[in-house]
Amino acid sequence: MRILKNRVGRVIEPGKVDFLLRTVDEPKEQQVVIKIASSAICGSDLHIFKGKHPSAPLPVTIGHEFAGEVVAVGSKVSKVKIGDRVTVEPVIVCGKCRACRTGNYGYCENISFTYRVGDGAMADYITVEEPYVYKLPEHLSYSAGALIEPLAVAVHAVRRADIKLGEKVLVIGAGAIGILVAALCRRRGAAEVAIADFSQKRLNIALELGATMAINPSKQNVYDVVSKITDGVGMDKTFECVGLEATFNQAMMALRKNGLATIVGIFENPNITIPATRFITHEIRVQGSQGYCWDFPIALEMSKEIDLEKLITHTFKLEDLQQALETCLDRDSGALKVIIHP
């Protein structure tokens, strides 16, 4: 392999990025070197940029939603070859704990993600392990391929919620994950999929991709709408995709008796106050959802039905990473998914 120079973006302090300059090593036996074509900024990247990610202390590299071309492979790699278009499940697991050995690697006792060990995808190249590399189908561009990761996050959440035919669902937060959760719930058979957000632009995209009803809290009371569409009973399932105390409670209070809330948002403030009595009086259930476990193949299949390109609002060059992150945090920018092109 010829010598490859690599820029790797990282957050060094709140609101400030720089680049590590490295040389790409020869891949080990089961490693794959990928030239990144597109990386997408994730909500967790923004939490890191603000210095408020609960599991990623600064300084740390960023970027884990990406797609690109294979440029080198290890001697024992057989799944992909040089020239293949691919995306990657950016998880790192031990393979030794009970969860891993029973196939539930999403619950690995030592789970981590590529960017947390210095291999962020806001870069020119990245080296990953072969089992987590997936070929991109022909219908996906590199930019859409970078969004398979958030689609897999949504797949995992919807599968955990076990959405059934005819159920009524409320999704709180129309970021990329919330929009994709709504789209998947509809395709899973939910009869009503309401989504709530203050951005009308985001709500419109959610409606295009499958949500049946949009709720703008600046114009409507969420509970009033829920009461109307459920005859006062409450939603069967809710998804919290924001990460705030108010929306966590909203996800609980909007449920019918014996309803289920799935919490997907990352909480910059992990200590919140909730109405605990609701658990008893309504026998509601609340569960979390993080990452993925055997969800990438499903996400790739579902990408045939969900136009991921509709989520993309901005593109930047890698050297403009600082501006790209600032754009994401600018509420007036209209940013939803921002793509970085090395």
- In the block, which residue shows the tokens 């070929």? 135
pLDDT of the chain, 342 residues: tens digit per residue: 788 999 999 999 999 999 999 999 999 999 999 999 999 999 999 999 999 988 888 999 999 999 999 999 999 999 999 999 999 999 999 999 999 999 999 999 999 999 988 899 999 999 999 999 999 999 999 999 999 999 999 999 999 999 999 999 999 999 999 999 999 999 999 999 999 999 999 999 999 999 999 999 999 999 999 999 999 999 999 999 999 999 999 999 999 999 999 999 999 888 999 999 999 999 999 999 999 999 999 999 999 999 999 999 999 999 999 999 999 999 899 999 999 999
Domain boundaries, the chain: 5-146+307-341, 154-288
Confidence (pLDDT) at 73:
97
Question: Distance between CA 100 and CA 21 in Å, rounded?
Answer: 34
Are 65 and 40 a contacting pair, CB within 8 Å? yes
Residues paired with residue 287 on neighbouring β-strands, in sequence order: 262
The architecture in CATH of the region 154-288 reads: 3-Layer(aba) Sandwich (3.40)
**pTM of the complete model beyond 0.85:** yes
Q: How far is CA 308 from the centre of its chain?
A: 13
Please tell me if the domain spanning 5-146+307-341 has the same topology as the one spanning 154-288: no
Q: Where are the beta strands (DSSP E) in 241-291?
A: 255-263, 285-288
Domain at 5-146+307-341, CATH homologous superfamily: Medium-chain alcohol dehydrogenases, catalytic domain (3.90.180.10)
